[in-house]
Amino acid sequence: MSKFLGSSSKEAAPTEGEPKYALSEEDSQVGQLQRASEAKRQIGIVSAIFLIVNRVIGTGIFATPGSILALSGSVGLSLFIWVAGMLIALAGTAVYLEFGTAIPKNGGEKNYLEYVYRKPKFLTTGLYTGYVVLLGWASGNSVVFGEYILHAAQVEVDRWNQRGIGLACITTAFLIHATSVKWGIRLQNFLGTVKVIIILIIVVAGWVALGGHLKLPEDEKPHNFSNAFEGTTGSAYGVVTALYNVIWSYIGYSNANYALSETKNPVRTLKIAAPLAIGVISVLYMFVNIAYFAAVPKEEIIAARRLVAASLFKNVFGGTAERALSVFVALSAFGNVLSVIFSQGRLVQELGREGILPWSRFWASNRPFNAPTAGLFEHWLVSVIVMLAPPPGDAYNFILNLISYPLAIINAFVALGLIYLYLNRKAWNWNPPISATLPVVVFFFLSNIYLIIAPFVPPEEGQNVYNDLPYWIHCVVGFGIIFAGGVYWLIWAVILPKIGGYELVQETVVDEIDGWERNVFFKRPLNKAN
């Protein structure tokens, strides 16, 4: 049974060091709850950094540079697009850092959107539910895992062997996290270390290439920096699609925000972990791109597409090293899949714990292995459907854009909410430990508005990233996912309460076993409403 703390209202955002409710030293039960809650906090600064590193460094930096170059047309514009994506990611980190230190508990942007957008009642919760439940975040890196494993084995990639190995990848990740949380986290941290080592090796390989040490004939060596802007495209569709590829490579800067209830000294930890992780990754990403352009001719980068990292190793170290690198990139993809399904499974569980989903008790359960098995399974199932459904050749790009596009919508509303709090700071008593500053938040907001609108501009001939699908398909499906959450809200929060003669009430409760605080939805009969 849980203890109630009261209904939701426009309370002031908590500041660092300020308790959310009074604790009496004489109340032994409250003291026990507090100790139990603190005992659940197992994530320190290092683990928080790896939560971000594992989510950000998946396959994007290995798999997207070829597409970005093809869409931008030149090495120079390609690098500028990477810089633009880096600035958007840094601005996003600042926005989520402010919200995370103001509301330091599990849930991430769900908490921030619910805090600001309160009318119509519970609409934000419904929209976010569709976003969490219907997106197969782990599918993209599962597909690339299959492609790199097949390349290492020197087996021709086709539709089914690539996706079959991808299916094995995500299923293994699901089973590990569903049966042993401790070993899942340990494996994540280990693979996070492997990723950083791979990145550093690529950077060093780039320095070797810049020194002229390539296993290529002199007339085939790249000269990508001699006329860096040759072939630059002016296509808005090409630029924005390339920018989406970069943003895909940075997705995860908010990953530590999802587990702040499990984080030791969450405000201090987030202050250190998020800027450090994203700052280091940003620098490494730019060095990696320079390495690619130093070691691989422009035409080969475009032809290699998702295997550009393998081409770099082949040109610098030879064929054997190329195959070894492919295995390491596959491991990096697997680490990302582990990190993604870890976070998304907990978001589904949290929706179940709050009573939002049908059969909420099932989704909220930690049985039988003290892990959110049901939530993990839901994300596994959606990811498998998203991975297997698109036609051959279009699967990866569709998954990438389908995930990135709704995220831009969510980020736009998160940034707009923070702008609103800035403009009404006194009324909302908004004084968090860290401020992203208004110019940074406005930049992040406008960047995401651009990312929402620009993909509807028709591409020039030959620039559609899909072979068989219409260029706008991910935009329509992305809005459809958000709209589906709205339909669910209409049924769950409007129609069913009217039919059942009750109203939904959100209460803040503290679990008597682990001391965790959460919001829970209850059905209150209308005749007892007063």
Three-state SS for 504?
Answer: strand
Residues 6 or more apart whose CB falls under 8 angstroms from that of 166 comprise: 139, 142, 143, 144, 145, 146, 387
Q: Is the pLDDT of residue 56 over 70?
A: yes
Residue 470 tokens read as: 């219409």
Model confidence pLDDT, tens digit, residues 340-365: 888 888 888 888 888 888 888 888 87
Give the span between the Cα atoms of 261 and 242, in whole angstroms.
36
- Site of tokens 């039988």: 368
The tokens of 493 are what?
């929060």
Predicted confidence (pLDDT) at residue 227 exceeds the cutoff of 70: yes
pLDDT at 392: 64
| Confidence bin at 446 (pLDDT 50/70/90) | very high
DSSP H helices, 103-156, are 109-116, 123-134, 139-152
Q: Smallest Cα–Cα separation from 277: which of 473, 406, 458, 89?
A: 89
The strand pair at 2-7 and 502-511 is best described as antiparallel
Confidence at residue 20, expressed as pLDDT on a 0 to 100 scale = 47
Distance, in Å, from the CA atom of 136 to the CA atom of 414, rounded to the nearest integer, reads 21
Per residue in 146-200, pLDDT (tens digit) is 888 888 888 887 777 888 898 999 999 999 988 887 888 788 878 878 888 888 9
pLDDT tens-digit profile of 236-247? Answer: 777 888 888 888
User: For position 8, what pLDDT does the model report?
Assistant: 43
Confidence of residue 35 (pLDDT cuts 50, 70, 90): low
**pTM recorded for the entire structure:** 0.81
SS3 106: coil
Q: In the structure encoding, which two tokens stand for residue 188, read together?
A: 């994540």
DSSP string across 446-464: HHHHHHHHGGGSPPPTT--
In this predicted model, what pLDDT tens digit does every residue of 299-332 receive, in sequence order?
888 887 667 888 888 888 877 777 887 888 888 8
Tens-place pLDDT, residues 364-401: 877 777 778 888 999 999 888 888 877 766 777 787 77
pLDDT of residue 367: 76
Please tell me the distance from the alpha carbon of residue 113 to that of residue 10, in angstroms, as a whole number: 13
pLDDT of residue 445: 96
Residue 243 CA from chain centroid, whole number:
16
Angle (nearest 5°) at CA 445 between 442 and 447: 110
Task: Tell whether the model's pLDDT for residue 30 goes beyond 60.
Answer: no
Q: Kindly report the number of other CB atoms within 10 A of residue 183's CB atom.
A: 11
Sign of the CA dihedral with 172 first, then 178, 179, and 180 last: positive
Match 């690619």 to its residue by tokens. 292
Helix (H, G, I), strand (E, B) or coil at 354: coil
